[in-house]
Amino acid sequence: MSRPPPLKPIRSVGESESNFSKHSLLQPIIEEKNSRNNSFASGTHFLAEDNQRLSELSPLPWNDYFRTRTLVLPENCKGIGFRVYATGSLTELLLAQSTVSSQTDETSSLYTSHRAASSFKQPLLMLFHGGGYSALSFGLLVKYLVQKLPNPESLSVLAFDARGHGETDVENEQNLSAEQQVQDALDLLKSIFGKLDSDLPPIVLAGHSMGGAIAVRVGASGQIPTLCGLIVIDVVEGTAMASLPHMQTVLMKRPKSFSSVEKAILYSLETGQTKSRESCRLSLPSQLRWNEDEKCYSWRTNLEESECYWKSWFENLSPTFLKIAVPKLLILAGQDRLDKPLTIAQMQGQFQLSVVRDSGHNLHEDQPEGTAQIFVEFLRRHSIIN
Protein backbone atom coordinates (compact mmCIF):
# COMPACT_ATOMS: atom_id res chain seq x y z
CA MET A 1 0.00 0.00 0.00
CA SER A 2 1.47 3.39 -0.91
CA ARG A 3 1.97 5.91 1.84
CA PRO A 4 0.14 9.24 1.56
CA PRO A 5 2.22 12.44 1.36
CA PRO A 6 3.36 13.94 4.69
CA LEU A 7 0.89 16.16 6.49
CA LYS A 8 1.84 19.83 6.46
CA PRO A 9 2.94 20.65 10.05
CA ILE A 10 1.52 23.52 12.05
CA ARG A 11 3.91 26.45 11.71
CA SER A 12 5.21 28.25 14.77
CA VAL A 13 7.94 30.59 15.91
CA GLY A 14 11.31 29.68 14.45
CA GLU A 15 10.07 26.89 12.19
CA SER A 16 10.86 26.74 8.51
CA GLU A 17 9.55 24.56 5.70
CA SER A 18 13.09 23.35 4.97
CA ASN A 19 13.60 22.12 8.53
CA PHE A 20 10.45 20.05 8.47
CA SER A 21 11.00 18.62 5.02
CA LYS A 22 14.35 17.27 6.22
CA HIS A 23 13.24 16.29 9.69
CA SER A 24 9.78 14.80 9.91
CA LEU A 25 9.80 12.13 12.61
CA LEU A 26 6.09 11.49 12.55
CA GLN A 27 4.41 10.48 9.31
CA PRO A 28 0.67 10.24 8.56
CA ILE A 29 -1.26 7.29 9.90
CA ILE A 30 -1.85 4.49 7.40
CA GLU A 31 -5.38 3.06 7.29
CA GLU A 32 -5.23 -0.73 7.48
CA LYS A 33 -8.78 -1.91 7.84
CA ASN A 34 -8.17 -4.92 5.62
CA SER A 35 -4.59 -5.60 6.65
CA ARG A 36 -3.65 -8.90 8.22
CA ASN A 37 -1.16 -7.02 10.41
CA ASN A 38 -3.77 -5.45 12.68
CA SER A 39 -1.79 -6.27 15.82
CA PHE A 40 1.37 -5.09 17.45
CA ALA A 41 4.21 -6.02 15.15
CA SER A 42 6.21 -7.81 17.84
CA GLY A 43 3.68 -10.61 17.91
CA THR A 44 3.65 -10.58 21.72
CA HIS A 45 0.62 -8.35 22.21
CA PHE A 46 -2.77 -8.94 20.65
CA LEU A 47 -5.41 -6.39 21.60
CA ALA A 48 -8.95 -6.75 20.31
CA GLU A 49 -9.58 -4.83 17.11
CA ASP A 50 -12.02 -2.04 17.77
CA ASN A 51 -12.22 0.51 14.98
CA GLN A 52 -14.51 2.79 16.95
CA ARG A 53 -12.16 2.79 19.90
CA LEU A 54 -9.14 3.47 17.72
CA SER A 55 -10.91 6.38 16.04
CA GLU A 56 -11.12 8.08 19.45
CA LEU A 57 -7.36 7.83 19.97
CA SER A 58 -6.11 10.23 17.31
CA PRO A 59 -3.09 12.42 18.22
CA LEU A 60 -3.73 15.82 19.80
CA PRO A 61 -2.05 19.06 18.61
CA TRP A 62 0.75 20.57 20.70
CA ASN A 63 -0.60 24.12 20.40
CA ASP A 64 -3.55 23.40 22.70
CA TYR A 65 -1.01 23.14 25.54
CA PHE A 66 1.92 25.42 24.69
CA ARG A 67 1.95 28.88 23.13
CA THR A 68 4.86 28.23 20.80
CA ARG A 69 7.43 25.73 19.66
CA THR A 70 10.73 26.32 17.92
CA LEU A 71 14.11 24.77 17.21
CA VAL A 72 17.15 26.00 19.12
CA LEU A 73 20.65 25.05 17.95
CA PRO A 74 23.33 25.90 20.55
CA GLU A 75 26.57 27.34 19.24
CA ASN A 76 28.66 24.23 19.88
CA CYS A 77 26.10 21.74 18.49
CA LYS A 78 25.64 20.42 14.98
CA GLY A 79 22.31 19.42 13.50
CA ILE A 80 18.88 20.99 13.18
CA GLY A 81 18.43 21.75 16.85
CA PHE A 82 16.59 20.98 20.08
CA ARG A 83 12.81 21.06 19.93
CA VAL A 84 11.61 23.63 22.44
CA TYR A 85 8.07 24.37 23.67
CA ALA A 86 7.22 27.49 25.66
CA THR A 87 4.52 29.52 27.38
CA GLY A 88 4.48 32.96 29.00
CA SER A 89 6.74 35.87 28.11
CA LEU A 90 9.39 33.44 26.91
CA THR A 91 7.28 33.22 23.76
CA GLU A 92 7.95 36.88 23.00
CA LEU A 93 11.67 36.43 23.63
CA LEU A 94 11.84 33.48 21.25
CA LEU A 95 9.85 35.47 18.70
CA ALA A 96 12.30 38.37 18.99
CA GLN A 97 15.24 36.03 18.49
CA SER A 98 13.55 34.37 15.53
CA THR A 99 12.97 37.77 13.95
CA VAL A 100 16.50 39.10 14.41
CA SER A 101 18.06 35.84 13.20
CA SER A 102 16.73 36.60 9.73
CA GLN A 103 18.33 40.07 9.60
CA THR A 104 21.39 40.62 7.46
CA ASP A 105 23.16 42.94 9.95
CA GLU A 106 24.67 40.45 12.41
CA THR A 107 25.78 43.11 14.90
CA SER A 108 22.30 44.58 15.06
CA SER A 109 20.80 41.12 15.38
CA LEU A 110 22.97 40.15 18.33
CA TYR A 111 22.40 43.47 20.09
CA THR A 112 18.63 43.23 19.70
CA SER A 113 18.57 39.61 20.84
CA HIS A 114 20.75 40.18 23.92
CA ARG A 115 18.82 43.32 24.87
CA ALA A 116 15.55 41.36 24.76
CA ALA A 117 17.08 38.57 26.87
CA SER A 118 18.52 40.95 29.49
CA SER A 119 15.10 42.56 30.00
CA PHE A 120 13.42 39.19 30.61
CA LYS A 121 12.72 38.92 34.35
CA GLN A 122 9.69 36.63 34.54
CA PRO A 123 10.45 33.48 36.60
CA LEU A 124 11.20 30.51 34.35
CA LEU A 125 10.23 26.89 34.96
CA MET A 126 12.50 24.58 32.94
CA LEU A 127 11.16 21.05 32.44
CA PHE A 128 13.18 17.86 31.84
CA HIS A 129 11.29 14.77 30.61
CA GLY A 130 12.00 11.13 31.40
CA GLY A 131 13.94 8.61 29.34
CA GLY A 132 12.05 7.62 26.19
CA TYR A 133 9.45 10.37 26.62
CA SER A 134 9.36 13.91 25.25
CA ALA A 135 8.57 17.48 26.28
CA LEU A 136 4.93 16.89 25.37
CA SER A 137 4.59 14.56 28.36
CA PHE A 138 4.32 17.81 30.34
CA GLY A 139 1.55 19.23 28.13
CA LEU A 140 -1.39 18.68 30.48
CA LEU A 141 0.63 19.71 33.51
CA VAL A 142 1.49 23.01 31.80
CA LYS A 143 -2.12 23.52 30.73
CA TYR A 144 -3.39 23.24 34.32
CA LEU A 145 -0.41 25.13 35.70
CA VAL A 146 -1.21 28.16 33.53
CA GLN A 147 -4.86 28.00 34.61
CA LYS A 148 -3.88 28.02 38.30
CA LEU A 149 -1.35 30.86 38.14
CA PRO A 150 -2.32 34.11 39.92
CA ASN A 151 -1.99 35.83 36.53
CA PRO A 152 -0.66 34.82 33.10
CA GLU A 153 2.51 36.87 33.60
CA SER A 154 3.51 35.06 36.79
CA LEU A 155 5.62 32.40 35.11
CA SER A 156 7.16 31.27 31.83
CA VAL A 157 7.63 27.59 31.02
CA LEU A 158 10.34 25.99 28.88
CA ALA A 159 10.15 22.31 27.95
CA PHE A 160 12.46 20.64 25.45
CA ASP A 161 13.11 17.26 23.85
CA ALA A 162 16.42 15.81 25.06
CA ARG A 163 18.93 14.61 22.51
CA GLY A 164 17.83 11.32 20.97
CA HIS A 165 14.22 12.07 21.90
CA GLY A 166 11.14 13.54 20.27
CA GLU A 167 11.80 16.02 17.49
CA THR A 168 15.29 17.04 18.58
CA ASP A 169 17.91 16.43 15.91
CA VAL A 170 21.54 16.97 16.92
CA GLU A 171 24.79 15.17 16.17
CA ASN A 172 25.82 12.25 18.39
CA GLU A 173 22.29 11.75 19.69
CA GLN A 174 23.17 8.37 21.20
CA ASN A 175 25.23 10.10 23.92
CA LEU A 176 22.74 10.25 26.78
CA SER A 177 25.32 10.50 29.54
CA ALA A 178 24.45 12.68 32.49
CA GLU A 179 27.37 14.98 31.67
CA GLN A 180 26.22 15.53 28.10
CA GLN A 181 22.62 16.15 29.06
CA VAL A 182 23.66 18.67 31.71
CA GLN A 183 25.73 20.49 29.11
CA ASP A 184 22.82 20.43 26.66
CA ALA A 185 20.55 22.15 29.18
CA LEU A 186 23.13 24.81 29.99
CA ASP A 187 23.82 25.39 26.30
CA LEU A 188 20.10 25.83 25.64
CA LEU A 189 19.81 28.47 28.35
CA LYS A 190 22.90 30.23 27.05
CA SER A 191 21.52 30.21 23.49
CA ILE A 192 18.24 31.76 24.62
CA PHE A 193 19.53 34.28 27.17
CA GLY A 194 22.98 35.06 25.73
CA LYS A 195 25.03 34.11 28.79
CA LEU A 196 24.74 32.42 32.15
CA ASP A 197 25.06 35.22 34.71
CA SER A 198 23.06 37.22 37.23
CA ASP A 199 20.96 38.72 34.41
CA LEU A 200 19.18 35.39 34.01
CA PRO A 201 15.60 35.33 35.27
CA PRO A 202 14.80 33.37 38.45
CA ILE A 203 14.92 29.73 37.32
CA VAL A 204 13.19 26.66 38.74
CA LEU A 205 14.33 23.27 37.41
CA ALA A 206 11.85 20.38 37.35
CA GLY A 207 12.25 16.90 35.93
CA HIS A 208 10.67 13.47 35.79
CA SER A 209 12.60 10.20 36.21
CA MET A 210 15.78 10.51 34.10
CA GLY A 211 14.91 14.18 33.63
CA GLY A 212 14.65 14.63 37.39
CA ALA A 213 18.16 13.25 37.81
CA ILE A 214 19.45 15.58 35.09
CA ALA A 215 17.66 18.58 36.64
CA VAL A 216 19.39 17.83 39.95
CA ARG A 217 22.79 17.69 38.27
CA VAL A 218 22.15 20.90 36.34
CA GLY A 219 21.28 22.58 39.64
CA ALA A 220 24.38 21.14 41.29
CA SER A 221 26.64 22.41 38.48
CA GLY A 222 26.62 25.88 40.02
CA GLN A 223 26.32 27.46 36.58
CA ILE A 224 22.84 28.94 37.09
CA PRO A 225 23.36 31.84 39.53
CA THR A 226 19.64 32.64 39.63
CA LEU A 227 18.49 29.12 40.53
CA CYS A 228 15.65 29.50 43.04
CA GLY A 229 13.87 26.12 43.12
CA LEU A 230 14.16 22.42 42.28
CA ILE A 231 11.32 19.95 41.69
CA VAL A 232 11.93 16.22 41.19
CA ILE A 233 9.14 13.91 40.00
CA ASP A 234 9.17 10.23 41.01
CA VAL A 235 12.84 9.42 41.03
CA VAL A 236 14.83 8.36 44.09
CA GLU A 237 18.37 7.04 43.94
CA GLY A 238 17.80 3.90 46.00
CA THR A 239 14.75 2.62 44.13
CA ALA A 240 16.13 3.72 40.75
CA MET A 241 19.44 1.91 41.21
CA ALA A 242 17.63 -1.20 42.46
CA SER A 243 15.42 -1.28 39.37
CA LEU A 244 18.22 -0.95 36.79
CA PRO A 245 19.01 -4.71 36.56
CA HIS A 246 15.40 -5.35 35.55
CA MET A 247 15.04 -2.58 32.97
CA GLN A 248 16.27 -4.57 29.97
CA THR A 249 13.66 -7.24 30.70
CA VAL A 250 10.94 -4.59 30.88
CA LEU A 251 12.06 -3.04 27.59
CA MET A 252 12.26 -6.41 25.84
CA LYS A 253 8.62 -7.15 26.69
CA ARG A 254 7.22 -4.09 24.97
CA PRO A 255 6.35 -4.19 21.24
CA LYS A 256 9.09 -3.10 18.89
CA SER A 257 6.73 -1.51 16.39
CA PHE A 258 3.12 -0.55 15.67
CA SER A 259 1.11 -0.39 12.49
CA SER A 260 -0.48 2.93 13.48
CA VAL A 261 -0.10 5.69 16.05
CA GLU A 262 -3.55 4.90 17.45
CA LYS A 263 -2.50 1.34 18.22
CA ALA A 264 0.55 2.60 20.06
CA ILE A 265 -1.67 4.89 22.13
CA LEU A 266 -4.03 1.99 22.81
CA TYR A 267 -1.10 -0.16 23.95
CA SER A 268 0.10 2.53 26.36
CA LEU A 269 -3.35 2.91 27.88
CA GLU A 270 -4.09 -0.82 28.10
CA THR A 271 -0.78 -1.59 29.79
CA GLY A 272 -1.08 1.31 32.23
CA GLN A 273 2.06 3.07 31.02
CA THR A 274 -0.06 6.22 30.98
CA LYS A 275 -3.45 6.40 32.67
CA SER A 276 -4.65 9.65 31.12
CA ARG A 277 -6.17 9.24 27.65
CA GLU A 278 -5.68 12.92 26.85
CA SER A 279 -2.04 12.99 27.88
CA CYS A 280 -1.33 9.78 26.02
CA ARG A 281 -2.87 11.17 22.82
CA LEU A 282 -0.68 14.25 23.17
CA SER A 283 2.68 12.76 24.18
CA LEU A 284 2.84 9.21 22.81
CA PRO A 285 3.05 10.16 19.09
CA SER A 286 6.25 12.14 19.74
CA GLN A 287 7.80 8.98 21.20
CA LEU A 288 7.51 7.24 17.82
CA ARG A 289 9.11 7.60 14.42
CA TRP A 290 8.11 6.26 11.02
CA ASN A 291 10.24 3.35 9.75
CA GLU A 292 10.20 3.68 5.98
CA ASP A 293 11.82 0.28 5.37
CA GLU A 294 9.43 -1.66 7.57
CA LYS A 295 6.38 0.57 6.89
CA CYS A 296 5.54 0.84 10.57
CA TYR A 297 6.13 3.01 13.64
CA SER A 298 8.97 2.20 16.02
CA TRP A 299 10.20 3.82 19.22
CA ARG A 300 12.00 7.12 18.63
CA THR A 301 14.54 6.45 21.41
CA ASN A 302 16.51 3.23 21.59
CA LEU A 303 16.56 2.94 25.36
CA GLU A 304 18.07 -0.54 25.25
CA GLU A 305 21.31 0.87 23.81
CA SER A 306 21.49 3.61 26.46
CA GLU A 307 22.11 1.10 29.28
CA CYS A 308 25.75 2.20 29.63
CA TYR A 309 24.48 5.59 30.85
CA TRP A 310 21.77 4.50 33.29
CA LYS A 311 24.06 4.31 36.31
CA SER A 312 25.41 7.82 35.62
CA TRP A 313 21.88 9.23 35.79
CA PHE A 314 21.09 8.04 39.30
CA GLU A 315 24.34 7.32 41.18
CA ASN A 316 24.83 9.69 44.18
CA LEU A 317 21.57 11.41 43.30
CA SER A 318 20.24 11.68 46.87
CA PRO A 319 23.25 13.47 48.42
CA THR A 320 23.52 15.72 45.35
CA PHE A 321 19.84 16.63 45.65
CA LEU A 322 20.17 17.43 49.35
CA LYS A 323 23.27 19.62 48.93
CA ILE A 324 21.59 22.09 46.55
CA ALA A 325 20.83 25.17 48.64
CA VAL A 326 17.47 26.17 47.18
CA PRO A 327 13.88 25.20 48.10
CA LYS A 328 13.33 21.61 46.98
CA LEU A 329 10.23 19.56 46.28
CA LEU A 330 10.07 15.81 45.71
CA ILE A 331 6.81 14.47 44.26
CA LEU A 332 6.24 10.71 44.44
CA ALA A 333 3.53 8.26 43.47
CA GLY A 334 3.98 6.56 46.85
CA GLN A 335 5.89 7.43 50.03
CA ASP A 336 7.30 3.91 50.17
CA ARG A 337 9.61 4.90 47.29
CA LEU A 338 11.79 7.01 49.60
CA ASP A 339 15.24 5.59 50.25
CA LYS A 340 16.93 5.84 53.67
CA PRO A 341 18.94 9.08 53.13
CA LEU A 342 15.88 10.91 51.82
CA THR A 343 13.65 9.53 54.58
CA ILE A 344 16.00 10.97 57.21
CA ALA A 345 16.35 14.26 55.36
CA GLN A 346 12.60 14.59 54.92
CA MET A 347 12.06 14.10 58.65
CA GLN A 348 14.59 16.88 59.23
CA GLY A 349 12.69 19.21 56.91
CA GLN A 350 15.42 19.49 54.28
CA PHE A 351 12.91 19.32 51.45
CA GLN A 352 9.17 19.21 50.84
CA LEU A 353 7.59 15.85 50.02
CA SER A 354 4.26 15.47 48.23
CA VAL A 355 2.56 12.19 47.29
CA VAL A 356 0.14 11.93 44.36
CA ARG A 357 -2.31 9.09 44.87
CA ASP A 358 -3.97 7.00 42.17
CA SER A 359 -1.08 7.47 39.77
CA GLY A 360 1.78 5.51 38.31
CA HIS A 361 5.35 6.48 37.55
CA ASN A 362 4.12 9.17 35.11
CA LEU A 363 2.22 10.94 37.84
CA HIS A 364 2.34 14.32 36.06
CA GLU A 365 0.49 12.69 33.16
CA ASP A 366 -1.83 10.52 35.24
CA GLN A 367 -2.85 13.32 37.65
CA PRO A 368 -1.85 16.55 35.86
CA GLU A 369 -4.26 18.87 37.65
CA GLY A 370 -3.30 17.71 41.12
CA THR A 371 0.39 17.86 40.23
CA ALA A 372 -0.03 21.38 38.83
CA GLN A 373 -1.64 22.45 42.12
CA ILE A 374 1.38 21.11 44.02
CA PHE A 375 3.69 23.07 41.71
CA VAL A 376 1.76 26.33 42.21
CA GLU A 377 1.62 25.95 45.99
CA PHE A 378 5.38 25.32 46.09
CA LEU A 379 6.13 28.35 43.89
CA ARG A 380 3.88 30.61 45.97
CA ARG A 381 5.17 29.33 49.31
CA HIS A 382 8.70 30.36 48.36
CA SER A 383 7.61 33.67 46.75
CA ILE A 384 8.82 32.60 43.31
CA ILE A 385 5.46 33.73 41.99
CA ASN A 386 3.12 36.22 43.67
Looking at residue 386, what is its pLDDT?
Answer: 83
Q: What digits encode the pLDDT tens for the residues 306-363?
A: 999 999 999 999 999 999 999 999 999 987 778 888 999 999 999 999 999 999 999 9
What structural domains does the chain harbor?
35-61+247-304 (no CATH), 64-89+122-243+306-381 (3.40.50.1820)
Looking at residue 38, what is its pLDDT?
Answer: 36
SS3 assignment, position 35: coil
2 contacts 30 by C-beta, under 8 angstroms: no
* Percent of all residues in the chain with a pLDDT value above 70, rounded to a whole number: 81
132 contacts 282 by C-beta, under 8 angstroms: no
Q: What digits encode the pLDDT tens for the residues 181-234?
A: 999 999 999 999 999 999 999 999 999 999 999 999 999 999 999 999 999 999
Which of the following is catalytic: 98, 154, 209, 279?
Answer: 209
pLDDT for residue 257 is more than 50: yes
| 257 assigned to active site | no
> Residue 119's pLDDT band (boundaries 50, 70, 90)?
low
| 23 assigned to active site | no
| 64 assigned to active site | no
Which of the following is catalytic: 129, 165, 361, 364?
Answer: 361
Looking at residue 95, what is its pLDDT?
Answer: 81
**Residues in Cβ contact with 325 at an 8 Å cutoff, skipping those fewer than 6 apart:** none
Give the predicted TM-score (pTM) of the model: 0.84
Which parts of the chain fold into alpha helices (H)?
A: 17-22, 51-55, 90-100, 106-118, 139-148, 178-193, 210-220, 237-253, 261-270, 277-283, 307-314, 317-323, 340-347, 363-366, 368-381
Give the span between the Cα atoms of 234 and 95, in whole angstroms. 34
Pairing of strands 68-72, 79-87: antiparallel
Q: What digits encode the pLDDT tens for the residues 42-64?
A: 444 444 456 777 878 999 999 99
> Residue 141's pLDDT band (boundaries 50, 70, 90)?
very high
> Residue 117's pLDDT band (boundaries 50, 70, 90)?
low
Which of the following is catalytic: 98, 234, 259, 268?
Answer: 234
